Chain A
Amino acid sequence: MTTAARKAALPAGLTRAQLLELYYWMRLTRSLEEKLVALYRQTKVVGGLFRSLGQEADAVGSAFALDRTKGDILSPLIRNLGSMLVQGATPIEVLRQYMAKADSPTRGRELNIHFNDLARGYLGQISHLGDMVTVMCGVALSFKIRKEPRVGLVYIGDGAMSTGAFHEGINFAAVQRLPLVIVAENNGYAYSTPIHKQTAVKFLVEKAAGYGVAGDQADGNDVLAVYEVTKRAVDRARSGGGVTLVELITYRRKGHAEHDNQGYVPKEEIEAWEARDPIDRYLRQLETSGWASRADLSAIDARVTSEIDAAVAQCENEPFPAPATALDGVLASAPAADLEWYRSL
């Protein structure tokens, strides 16, 4: 794999630097989560911890299809840490969120990756699943009203597609022909509930027809396939072609959160999906196609390690927010009577 003659043509219209970037984001996602597991076991993560093990390609590849120079915005789910990182969220922000630090993006008010920066292009979710589809309808509607060539992307899971909010959102987006991509992550389980108990369709993409929107599907563990299918949907949205429902077939290899031992899942099922690990698979692809050398990849691994270590070192001993900061910022300006009540406490 050392001579140029043996290199395969570059895929999906991507440059070699972009191919390496995809690897970087997936590796950063996994390593950051592994670091968070260590911090969780030390009780430094004060709440629950959610993993995206085995889903890094779906998160990273889909977000990578957006155009950050045009101001595209996505709304992630709990297993889309990779999407957030691609859009510009930083490891130290994620660490501060999980550890509830005073300087976290939400000043200790919200959990994990529930944070946002519209300038960087991500709008954090709330826990009520399906709602973000409707909120992203509004984001996309603002693009349409202002005639901006921007695209919104919202993730939905196999479980959340059972909500009324999902139905209202996708239907609204379809009728309004909004520049919105809806990425349905089919990872097999919603908490402990397998997909056949969520829906009677075999594939989530079948639902696209019922809403009159385009549907597409890809192997969610193949980062290049994810990128390509999402890019088609993004291009369609940007050119006025409306909504696409993209189904990514993947698998949740950990429990709902770290406390969940996944007793409801057969071991062989997890093992079968371990063999399809998206990062291992992409590494093999990069090396056998001659798109990257071992040295390139080792350099990325080292960069990821040092970035995470530096971020942990910087924020690990930072303080929690001061208690009384809990009172401010409910409204643009607090009512006088409430201030008096607070002061009397």
Chain B
Amino acid sequence: MTQVTYLEAIRDGLREEMERDDRVFMMGEDIGNYGGAFKVTEGFQARFGAERVIDTPISEVAIVGAAAGAAHMGLRPVCEMQFIDFLSCAYSILTNYVATARYRADLKTPMVVRGPCGGYVRGGPFHSQNPEAAYLHTPGLKIVAPATARDAKGLIKAAIRDDDPVLYFEHKFLYRRIKEDLPDGEDIVTPIGEARLAREGAHLTVVTYSAMVFKALEAAEVLAKEGISLEVLDLRTLLPFDEDAIVASVKKTNRALIVHEDTRTGGIAGEITARINERCFEWLDAPVRRVCAHDVPLPYAPTLEDFVLPQTDDIVKAARWMVAY
């Protein structure tokens, strides 16, 4: 066993896939000699060469477009967005070209776009975003968002091996805060599309993912002292999300609270609520509720950011209300 951070787990997963499969290569801004803004690819260019770890111009459209072309030709590109906020620069080519390629033209496009998402780091409006909802609406993409170091490694490896385009959202707040012992020599691959039961409980299911998993677990500890037992489901994959796991848990606890760091309107919680209504309305003992960020761009000042983003106490209060309903 070796203790690794969430960031090191991503790095190890990337390195293992680069070693395992010479079709895998990387493109991104400052990822080569500099090792990336967060040093995820540190040492990669020295190890794998400048042709497999390519420093690009500041051109998100070209990075994503070139990845698609290379993927059609049988390579397996991994693109880094320096911050996932900048993926919006490539929104058109990603949703119009990449996501439709298999459906409209039977073009194989196995590629990964990864980058740091999320707030709680005083990054301001353009270095803190959680843009998953913008891509959730696009048939042809897959989206993963790991919470644990094991899944950070397992999902990057699964994403690279997947035959469809995968967006991999890594939470920068977790980069160096999460540490886990991972077994040496195990080929850790987390299946895309499967949720993980992060905590078993009886009274209420919290459906969540990424950094919010830890807020939900904190809330579960608080509520356990009051005799309220929270089940925490870590989705891990947001598209296609594990509807069966959500339904099974909600049928057990009869209450569903959805927690995400993204803003509320048009967020993934709305879609999950609709699925719960479609498949287990009769099992519900309380309305489905959600804890999300307020509908504002994410502000910079600590007081403002902490107010806007979901906090443990928000989950605690919502859960109490639902259990008392």
Name A residues whose Cβ lies closer than 8 Å to a Cβ of B.
106, 109-110, 114-116, 118, 123-124, 126-128, 131, 133-145, 164-165, 168-169, 171-172, 175-176, 329-332, 335-338
B 97-151 contacts with A by CB, 8 A: 97, 100, 102-107, 139-140, 142
Question: Chain A interface: which of B2-10, B53-61, B310-318?
Answer: B53-61
Kindly list chain A residues whose C-beta atoms are within 8 Å of the C-beta of B96: 126-128, 131
CA of A139 to CA of B107 in the docked complex: distance in angstroms?
A: 13
Q: How large is the interface on B (under 10, 10 to 19, 20 to 34, 35 or more residues)?
A: 35 or more
Kindly list chain A residues whose C-beta atoms are within 8 Å of the C-beta of B183: none
Give me 4 other A-B pairs in contact (C-beta within 8 A), A134-B61, A137-B62 excluded. Answer: A135-B72, A142-B74, A165-B62, A331-B240
The answer to whether B243 and A134 touch across the interface, beta carbons within 8 angstroms, is no
CA of A114 to CA of B100 in the docked complex: distance in angstroms?
A: 12
Shortest CB-to-CB span from B112 to chain A, Å, is 14
Asked, given contacts A128-B93, A171-B59, whether A115 binds B105 with beta carbons under 8 Å apart, the answer is yes
CA of A171 to CA of B65 in the docked complex: distance in angstroms?
A: 13
The answer to whether A172 and B57 touch across the interface, beta carbons within 8 angstroms, is yes
The answer to whether B72 and A141 touch across the interface, beta carbons within 8 angstroms, is no
CA of A332 to CA of B193 in the docked complex: distance in angstroms?
A: 13
B 66-118 contacts with A by CB, 8 A: 66-75, 77, 92-93, 96-97, 100, 102-107
The answer to whether B65 and A116 touch across the interface, beta carbons within 8 angstroms, is no
Q: List 28 A-B contacts (CB under 8 A).
A: A106-B106, A109-B104, A110-B105, A123-B72, A123-B107, A124-B105, A128-B92, A131-B92, A134-B61, A134-B62, A134-B64, A135-B68, A138-B65, A138-B68, A139-B72, A140-B69, A142-B70, A142-B75, A144-B51, A165-B62, A165-B92, A169-B62, A175-B56, A329-B102, A329-B103, A330-B102, A331-B140, A331-B142
CA of A118 to CA of B108 in the docked complex: distance in angstroms?
A: 11
Kindly list chain A residues whose C-beta atoms are within 8 Å of the C-beta of B180: none
A interface, over-half SS: helix
Kindly list chain B residues whose C-beta atoms are within 8 Å of the C-beta of A139: 69-70, 72-73
The answer to whether B164 and A332 touch across the interface, beta carbons within 8 angstroms, is yes
Check: B187 CB closer than 8 A to any chain A CB.
no
The answer to whether B66 and A145 touch across the interface, beta carbons within 8 angstroms, is no
CA of A331 to CA of B102 in the docked complex: distance in angstroms?
A: 7
Check: B25 CB closer than 8 A to any chain A CB.
yes
CA of A323 to CA of B121 in the docked complex: distance in angstroms?
A: 49
The answer to whether A110 and B243 touch across the interface, beta carbons within 8 angstroms, is no
Check: B21 CB closer than 8 A to any chain A CB.
no
Question: Which residue of the partner chain, among A128, A140, A335, contacts B97 with CB atoms under 8 Å?
Answer: A128
Check: B244 CB closer than 8 A to any chain A CB.
yes
CA of A165 to CA of B107 in the docked complex: distance in angstroms?
A: 21
Check: B163 CB closer than 8 A to any chain A CB.
yes
Shortest CB-to-CB span from B193 to chain A, Å, is 6
Kindly list chain A residues whose C-beta atoms are within 8 Å of the C-beta of B93: 128, 131, 134-135, 165
CA of A106 to CA of B107 in the docked complex: distance in angstroms?
A: 10
CA of A331 to CA of B99 in the docked complex: distance in angstroms?
A: 9
Kindly list chain B residues whose C-beta atoms are within 8 Å of the C-beta of A171: 57, 59, 62
Question: Which residue of the partner chain, among B60, B102, B243, contacts A332 with CB atoms under 8 Å?
Answer: B102
Asked, given contacts A128-B93, A332-B163, whether A134 binds B65 with beta carbons under 8 Å apart, the answer is yes
Nearest 3 CB-CB pairs, A to B? A138-B69, A134-B65, A335-B240
Q: Which single residue of chain B is at the shortest CB-CB distance from A115?
A: B105
The answer to whether B65 and A169 touch across the interface, beta carbons within 8 angstroms, is yes
CA of A111 to CA of B52 in the docked complex: distance in angstroms?
A: 36
Most B CB contacts (10 A, CB to CB) among A134, A140, A330, A338 go to: A134
Shortest CB-to-CB span from A240 to chain B, Å, is 14
The answer to whether B72 and A138 touch across the interface, beta carbons within 8 angstroms, is yes
Asked, given contacts A126-B96, A329-B106, whether A168 binds B69 with beta carbons under 8 Å apart, the answer is no
Asked, given contacts A114-B104, A171-B62, whether A138 binds B92 with beta carbons under 8 Å apart, the answer is no
CA of A337 to CA of B59 in the docked complex: distance in angstroms?
A: 36
The answer to whether A138 and B77 touch across the interface, beta carbons within 8 angstroms, is yes
Asked, given contacts A134-B93, A138-B68, A139-B70, whether A116 binds B107 with beta carbons under 8 Å apart, the answer is yes
The answer to whether A116 and B240 touch across the interface, beta carbons within 8 angstroms, is no
Asked, given contacts A142-B75, A331-B164, whether A135 binds B140 with beta carbons under 8 Å apart, the answer is no
CA of A140 to CA of B71 in the docked complex: distance in angstroms?
A: 11
Asked, given contacts A172-B59, A330-B139, A337-B244, whether A136 binds B164 with beta carbons under 8 Å apart, the answer is no
Most B CB contacts (10 A, CB to CB) among A128, A140, A142, A171 go to: A142
Q: Which single residue of chain B is at the shortest CB-CB distance from A147?
A: B51
B 230-269 contacts with A by CB, 8 A: 240, 243-244
Kindly list chain B residues whose C-beta atoms are within 8 Å of the C-beta of A124: 105
Asked, given contacts A115-B105, A116-B107, A330-B139, whether A134 binds B57 with beta carbons under 8 Å apart, the answer is no
Kindly list chain A residues whose C-beta atoms are within 8 Å of the C-beta of B275: 337
